[in-house]
């Protein structure tokens, strides 16, 4: 039946329903934010919320979805590898948004990789994680995306990623106020020794815990 087909299309998304596959549609963001204000009983023309739907929410949403737009990706200038060991960066601030509730989840990311022929500065790893996290996603998916993305960018022999985060959709509803979720992913060749060294670095920095 037609109505069922339509529902299926709507649920799974077609271009006609979801809009352009890339870029940011400011007008749709404005309309959507205005409708949400109306849905909760606010008058969108009140002075106090006029800029909310007209400017602030669209601008914020555009920034927070930069990870979906390759042109916003930070340049990953590489240099020749100087080490045969594991390169580790722990305690990278993590801010992303859950695609189920469109609310933030935040915490820390830890990254380690075995360089191939080239490396990048550690600050580039931080910027890469920040860019990759700016999208509507799940923590599990983001963990995989960071690991696979860095593996691609660095042409690394192996990459390890661990994310620990608190989800506002759980904390704000009082479901699991103090809980954090940890997800792990590895790509390429990673030995047990690498994993132990990675875990040791995370413990040593006390970076496994987050401060909220
Ligand atoms: Zn959620």
In the chain, where are the structural domains located? 2-64, 73-204
DSSP code string of 102-114: TEEEEEEEEEEEE
Distance 121 CA to ligand 1 centre (A): 33
Cα 1 to Cα 9: distance, rounded to the nearest angstrom = 13
The count of residues in the chain is 212
Distance 155 CA to ligand 1 centre (A): 33
Distance 66 CA to ligand 1 centre (A): 19
Distance 106 CA to ligand 1 centre (A): 12
Query: What average pLDDT does the segment 27-42 reach?
Result: 98
Distance 107 CA to ligand 1 centre (A): 14
The reported pLDDT for the residue numbered 178 is: 64
Is the pLDDT score of 8 beyond 80?
A: no
Half-sphere exposure of 28 (CA within 13 A, CB side): 9
90-116 b/e (C-beta count within 10 Å ≥ 16 → b) = bbbebebbbeeeeebbbbbbbbbbbbe
Distance 13 CA to ligand 1 centre (A): 20
**Phi, psi torsion values for 155, nearest 5 degrees:** 50, 45
Query: What average pLDDT does the segment 9-33 reach?
Result: 70
Distance 116 CA to ligand 1 centre (A): 37
Neighbours of 119 (CB within 10 A): 19
The reported pLDDT for the residue numbered 139 is: 98
Is the pLDDT score of 177 beyond 90?
A: no
**What is the CATH T-level fold of the domain 73-204, as seen in this structure?**
GTP Cyclohydrolase I, domain 2 (3.30.1130)
DSSP code at position 72 = G
Is residue 189 within 8 A of residue 158, CB to CB? The reply is yes
Cα 197 to Cα 184: distance, rounded to the nearest angstrom = 15
Strand partners, 166: 106
- Domain 2-64 maps to which CATH number in 1.20.120, 1.20.58, 1.10.10, 1.10.286? 1.10.286
Query: What average pLDDT does the segment 184-201 reach?
Result: 94
Give the angle subtended at the CA of 211 by the CAs of 208 and 212, to the nearest 5°: 120
Q: Tens of pLDDT along 118-160?
A: 899 999 999 999 999 999 999 999 999 999 999 999 989 999 9
Distance 169 CA to ligand 1 centre (A): 5
Strand partners, 104: 97
Which residue did the predictor score with more confidence, 144 or 76?
144
Distance 85 CA to ligand 1 centre (A): 37
Cα 30 to Cα 74: distance, rounded to the nearest angstrom = 28
Which residue did the predictor score with more confidence, 132 or 171?
132
Contacts of 25 (CB under 8 A, 6+ apart): 19
Distance 148 CA to ligand 1 centre (A): 23
Distance 33 CA to ligand 1 centre (A): 19
Is residue 150 within 8 A of residue 108, CB to CB? The reply is no
Distance 101 CA to ligand 1 centre (A): 4
The reported pLDDT for the residue numbered 173 is: 83
Is the pLDDT score of 21 beyond 70?
A: no
**Phi, psi torsion values for 144, nearest 5 degrees:** -65, -40
The reported pLDDT for the residue numbered 147 is: 97
Q: Tens of pLDDT along 52-64?
A: 999 999 999 999 9
Average pLDDT, the chain: 87
Query: What average pLDDT does the segment 193-201 reach?
Result: 95
Distance 164 CA to ligand 1 centre (A): 15
Distance 102 CA to ligand 1 centre (A): 7
């Amino acid at each position: 039946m037609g109505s069922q087909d339509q529902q299926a299309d709507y649920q799974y998304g077609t271009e006609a329903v979801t809009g352009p596959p890339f870029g940011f549609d400011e007008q749709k963001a404005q309309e959507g934010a205005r409708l949400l204000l109306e849905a909760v009983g606010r008058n969108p023309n009140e002075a106090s919320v006029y800029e909310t739907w007209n400017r602030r929410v669209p601008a914020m949403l555009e920034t927070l979805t930069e990870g979906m737009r390759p042109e916003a990706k930070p340049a990953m200038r590489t240099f020749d590898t100087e080490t045969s060991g594991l390169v580790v960066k722990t305690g990278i601030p993590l801010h992303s948004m859950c695609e189920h509730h469109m609310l933030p989840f935040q915490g820390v990311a830890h990254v380690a990789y075995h360089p191939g022929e080239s490396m990048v500065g550690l600050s580039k790893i931080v910027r890469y994680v920040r860019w990759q996290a700016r999208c509507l996603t799940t923590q599990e998916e983001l963990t995989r995306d960071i690991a696979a993305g860095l593996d691609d960018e660095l042409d690394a022999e192996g990459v390890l990623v661990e994310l620990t985060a608190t989800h506002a959709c759980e904390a704000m509803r009082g479901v699991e106020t103090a809980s954090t979720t940890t997800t792990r992913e590895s790509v390429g060749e990673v030995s047990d020794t690498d994993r132990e060294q990675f875990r040791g670095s995370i413990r040593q920095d006390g970076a496994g815990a987050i401060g909220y």
